[in-house]
Amino acid sequence: MATCDMCGNEYQNTFTLSRAGETMTFDSFECAIHMMAPKCGHCGCRILGHGVEAPEAVYCCSHCARQAGHEQASDRA
């Protein structure tokens, strides 16, 4: 059995995720999200989709990107 890096639970069905050369072990997607999903550069929520990218940060939505000074950010083409 392996141990979840987030919550410490020992579980027989853990899985691993790798990002930027770092591999971590999790017992659930919830734990993986808390540790590995990027945070919005404005409100701090975890970004589960594509988000809105800017040169220095990623945002959960165009509203947050605009609040951070990226006036042209838009959720639509």
Task: State pLDDT tens for residues 42-51.
Answer: 999 999 999 9
pTM (2 decimals)? 0.78
Q: What is residue 18's predicted lDDT score, i.e. its pLDDT?
A: 95
Tell me the C-alpha to C-alpha distance, in Å, between residue 3 and each of 11, 12, 16. 6, 9, 11
Report d(CA 55, CA 73) in Å as an integer. 12
Question: Does the CA dihedral 49-35-23-19 come out positive or negative?
Answer: positive
| In the chain, where the domains are located | 1-36, 38-77
Spell out, as residue ranges, where the chain has pLDDT lower than 70. Answer: 76-77
